[in-house]
Amino acid sequence: MTMENTRIIEKYLDGTLNDEERRIVEERAGHDPDFRELIRLHREVNESIRDNDLLVLRNLIQKVSAEYFSSPDTILSVQKEQRHHFYFRYVFRAAVLLIILAAAGIILKMTLFSVTSSGKLYRKYYTVYHADVVYRSAQAELSELDKAILNYDQGKYADALRLLSDITQSDQHNLLALFYRGMVCLETGNADCAVTSFREIPDNWNCPLSEHRSWYLALALLKSNDKTAAADILKKITTGNGYYHKEAKQILKKLKF
Amino acid sequence: MKYSDAELLSGLLTRDERILKAYYTLYFKSVRRLVLLNTGNEEDARDLFQEVLLVLFQKVRQAHFKLTSSLGTYLYSVSRYLWLKELGKRKWINNNPSDVEDFIDMDSDIGEISEYNERLFIYRSHFDKLSTACKKVLRLFMEGHSINEITHFMGYRSEQYTRNRRYLCKSMLINSIRGEFGHEINDNGKYKDN
């Protein structure tokens, strides 16, 4: 920092440079950032020398602050608040820990110990089977089996069961009637009747409904609490890539023996 | 003793010790809680509160200053702004600070005022290290005394000598500031590490 720079800058700040000198200073400040910065520094330093009030206030604040924090009232109040703060933090941490433990417990339960009773599994996975036959003609023109299926579809289970029982009594090999009788039994809460009906259908039934029969048989067995037999059927379902293989896998995971 | 906001502001301007005590009694607790809840400690809270009072002093001195909320809310908002800025400097970014009171948006000049205050105190610490004669000459110039008066007051032999003393003392002061602990003034007039 040269004396000459100081002289020029101080005179510039005092406003005592002539026009030509001031123009030269401003031109230099315009393209020389260091010089521009130096002017600013000089200006601020002058302000700091001139501004005694800020310094006096700072010293006074420091004095008041020291007195305030050494006062017994403040110390007591701060200690009390620190205890409160500590207590708050302690409670907060304990609460967070409890939440984490609870969440971990739930996750563990859902993964490692996610076993459910067979009755619950049945309720969770059972859905009504909807007959995919479309009836276009009047009921009078339908066969007995068609009428039974229509009754089943319309929720007239007693009528459906009566017709289906008649059909299966007269024709023990009417597998479709056995299938729907099984479904009617399930809908009316008679799992044993459903198991009997489905079991009368051979495993190698060559029909699109065969897959549904296995699935509903497994569910009927679950409802009857015959978990071993249900699991055997479900395992067979999972080996294929059929309609129910995902659900079968899920049930097997959750099945409690 | 209960003071109105106007009395508190006026007392700050006149540096009334009783009023300053009232600031601590009335407002320090909420600033302290703000700092403690947002990763600061007791000392941070005390430093911040002093900084806030000095910023408020500069604001109140401005002719256009107008309080648009209660003084408590204003002080808390200034504290909050400066504390988040401080956390940013410490690389402890907090996008969702815990608040203990309502606050209002602050102008960015709050941060600039705080930095300006900090610089002035540094300058003054260097100024205090100058010789008694140097300090006296510079102060007399800054107080607006004429060269003739200063020459006479200081007992110097000529006005030219007085001018030279002034420039010499000012050069020493500027060099001292620029050379502080390996720091220099950057283009923005702020200290930066070499």
**Nearest Cβ partner of B57 from A46, A54, A69?**
A54
Same domain, B161 and B88: no
In a domain, B124, yes or no: no
Residues in B touching A64 (Cβ below 8 Å)? 17, 20-21, 24
Instruction: Look at residues B117, B148, B171 and tell me which one is the last residue of a structural domain.
Output: B117
Question: Is position B31 within any domain?
Answer: yes
- Among candidate residues B136, B134, B88, B79, the one with its CA nearest the CA of residue B106: B79
pTM: 0.58
Q: What is the pLDDT at residue A172?
A: 83
Predicted confidence at residue B136, as pLDDT, reads 96
Q: How far is the C-alpha of B189 from the C-alpha of A48, rounded, in Å?
A: 14
Rounded to the nearest angstrom, the minimum Cα separation between B35 and chain A is: 12
Question: Is the Cα torsion angle A85, A88, A93, A94 positive or negative in sign?
Answer: positive
Tens of pLDDT, residues A186-221: 988 899 999 999 999 998 888 888 889 999 999 999
CA B31 to chain centre: 18
Sequence letter at residue B184? E
Judgement on whether residues B50 and B95 belong to the same structural domain of the protein: yes
B107, B159: one domain? no
Q: Would you say B83 and B55 are in contact if contact means Cβ atoms under 8 Å apart?
A: no
Q: How confident is the model at residue B71 (pLDDT cuts 50, 70, 90)?
A: very high
In the predicted structure, residue B132 carries a pLDDT above the cut 70:
yes
Q: Is the CB of residue B146 less than 8 Å away from at least one CB of chain A?
A: no
Strands in chain B per DSSP E = 183-185, 191-193
**Which tokens hold the place of A96?**
């967070």
Nearest Cα of chain A lies from the Cα of B89 at a distance, in angstroms, of 23
Residue ranges and CATH numbers for the domains of chain A are: 3-50 (no CATH), 122-254 (1.25.40.10)
Asked if the structure places residue B185 within a domain, the reply is: yes
B185 closest CA partner among A22, A43, A24, A7 = A43
Query: Within this chain, do residues B96 and B19 fall inside the same structural domain, yes or no?
Result: yes
B25 in Cβ contact with B48 (< 8 Å): no
Query: What single letter denotes the amino acid at residue A136?
Result: R
Give the total number of structural domains in chain B: 2
Q: Please say if the pLDDT value at position A46 is more than 50.
A: yes
Same domain, B16 and B102: yes
pLDDT tens per residue, range A77-115: 666 666 666 676 778 788 888 988 988 888 776 666 555
Q: How far apart are CA A25 and CA A87, in angstroms?
A: 64
In this structure, the answer to whether residues B154 and B68 fall within a common structural domain is: no
- The number of C-alpha atoms within 13 Å of B122 and in the hemisphere containing its C-beta is 21
The verdict on residue B123 lying in a domain is no
Strand partners, A255: A116
| pLDDT grade for B188, boundaries at 50, 70 and 90 | very low
Is residue B180 over pLDDT 80?
no
B24 to chain A: which residues are within 8 Å by CB? 64-65, 68
- pLDDT-derived band of residue A140, with 50, 70 and 90 as boundaries? low
Do residues B20 and A60 touch, judged by C-beta distance below 8 A?
Answer: yes
pLDDT of residue B183: 46
Written as six digits, the tokens of A53 are: 């009030």
Q: Which pLDDT value is given to residue A123? A: 85
CA angle, A140 as apex, A134 and A145 as ends, to 5°? Answer: 55
Q: Are residues B24 and B84 in the same domain?
A: yes
Q: What percent of chain A has pLDDT over 90?
A: 40
pLDDT for res A133: 58
Distance from C-alpha of B153 to C-alpha of B130, rounded to nearest angstrom: 19
Residue B44 lies in a domain: yes
Same domain, B57 and B147: no
Claim to verify: residue B62 and residue B136 sit in the same structural domain: no
Residue B18 lies inside a defined structural domain of this protein: yes
Identify the domain boundary among B117, B152, B167. Answer: B117
- Nearest Cα neighbor of B55 from B27, B78, B32, B24 is B78
Task: Kindly tell me if the per-residue pLDDT of B184 is higher than 90.
Answer: no
Bridge partners, A18 (sequence order): none
pLDDT surpasses 50 at B34: yes
State whether B83 and B135 are in the same domain: no
Interface of B with A in 21-50 (CB under 8 A): 21, 24-25, 28-29, 32-33, 36, 42, 46, 49-50
Q: Which residue is closest to B168 within chain A, CA to CA?
A: A3
Confidence of residue B192 (pLDDT cuts 50, 70, 90): very low
**Is A138's pLDDT higher than 90?**
no
Positive or negative: CA dihedral A17, A21, A27, A33: negative
Domain co-membership, B92 together with B143? no
- pLDDT digit string, tens, across residues B81-128: 999 999 988 877 766 778 878 888 888 799 999 999 999 999 999 999
Please write the tens of the pLDDT for every residue from B143-175.
Answer: 999 999 999 999 999 999 999 999 999 999 999
Among the candidates B117, B144, B165, a domain finishes at B117
Is there a single domain that holds both residue B70 and residue B166? no
Q: Are the beta carbons of A51 and B120 closer than 8 angstroms?
A: yes
Q: What are the residues facing B183 on neighbouring strands?
A: B193
Between B131 and A156, where is the model more confident?
B131
Confidence at residue B168, expressed as pLDDT on a 0 to 100 scale: 95
Range of the domain at B65: 5-117
